[in-house]
Amino acid sequence: MVEEALTAERILEAAEEVLRRFGPAKATVVDVARALGVSHGSVYRHFPSKTALRDAVAERWLARVSKPLAEVAAEEGPAPERLRRWFDLLIALKRSKARDEPELFATYQNLVADARDVVRTHVDTLVSQVARILTDGVEKGEFSIEDPLASAWAVFNATVRFHKPIHASEWSDPGIDAAFEGVWSLILGGLGAREAPAKARKKPSKK
């Protein structure tokens, strides 16, 4: 049987599995190497440090969050509803990660606590997606705001309680959904949300 070559990709998969099973506190580089049947020195051929490996695992994991969100951001149709769907999905994704992959979620929480670049990049990605929806809405006359990127940041900041991992323990409060509704109507008002005026409404795009 031919041994499969040791690649960064294979290491990442093994590392994710090890993190999922043991959690960030117990997972070691030796565990990852053992899962691959190599010495731990080999892992350092592909990643300069354990931190870099952890960041790379998180990056993949975060890409699996932002990709479906990007799809929602790119949808057609009224921006206000799309914005809401986008946040509903963001919140649902975060909650399900916290519930179904607690160890990986804990890894991500450590990352946030360390204020790693990988997290900043992820947040920037998410905020640009929101900005895209807002820009779209402004063009269609569905939002009345001056600076979509600034507003995107504002919306993101205002909803921090509902998607930032540091608040994860509050997500099981019975009133959490009602609290979000309250913040949401504040936001819609603040964005000057309304139905697209007939003459401003764009024809279905077919580019």
Where along the sequence are the contacts to its own copies (CB under 8 A)?
150-151, 153-155, 157-161, 166-167, 179, 182-183, 185-192
Binding flag, residue 48, DNA (CB under 7 A): yes
Binding flag, residue 189, DNA (CB under 7 A): no
Binding flag, residue 44, DNA (CB under 7 A): yes
Q: Which residue has the tokens 């603040």?
A: 190
Residue 51's binding partner among its own copies, DNA, none (Cβ under 5 to 8 angstroms by kind) is DNA
Binding flag, residue 123, DNA (CB under 7 A): no
Residue 158's binding partner among its own copies, DNA, none (Cβ under 5 to 8 angstroms by kind) is its own copies
Q: Which of 66, 68, 67, 32 is nearest to 50 (CA)?
A: 32
Residue 38's binding partner among its own copies, DNA, none (Cβ under 5 to 8 angstroms by kind) is DNA
CB of 6 to DNA, least distance (A): 3
Nearer to its own copies, 41 or 169 (CB): 169
Residue 153's binding partner among its own copies, DNA, none (Cβ under 5 to 8 angstroms by kind) is its own copies
Distance of alpha carbon 74 from alpha carbon 129, whole angstroms: 8
Nearer to DNA, 57 or 98 (CB): 57
Residue 197's binding partner among its own copies, DNA, none (Cβ under 5 to 8 angstroms by kind) is none
Phi, psi of 195 (to 5 degrees): -70, 150
Residue 149's binding partner among its own copies, DNA, none (Cβ under 5 to 8 angstroms by kind) is none
Binding flag, residue 28, DNA (CB under 7 A): yes
Nearer to DNA, 55 or 136 (CB): 55
3-state DSSP of the chain: CCCCCCCHHHHHHHHHHHHHHHHHHHCCHHHHHHHHCCCHHHHHHHCCCHHHHHHHHHHHHHHHHHHHHHHHHCCCCCHHHHHHHHHHHHHHHHHHHHHHCHHHHHHHHHHHHCCCHHHHHHHHHHHHHHHHHHHHHHHCCCCCCCCHHHHHHHHHHHCHHHHCHHHHHHCCCCCHHHHHHHHHHHHHHHCCCCCCCHHHCCCCCCC
Q: Which residues here bind DNA, judged by CB under 7 A? A: 5-6, 25-31, 37-42, 44-45, 48-51
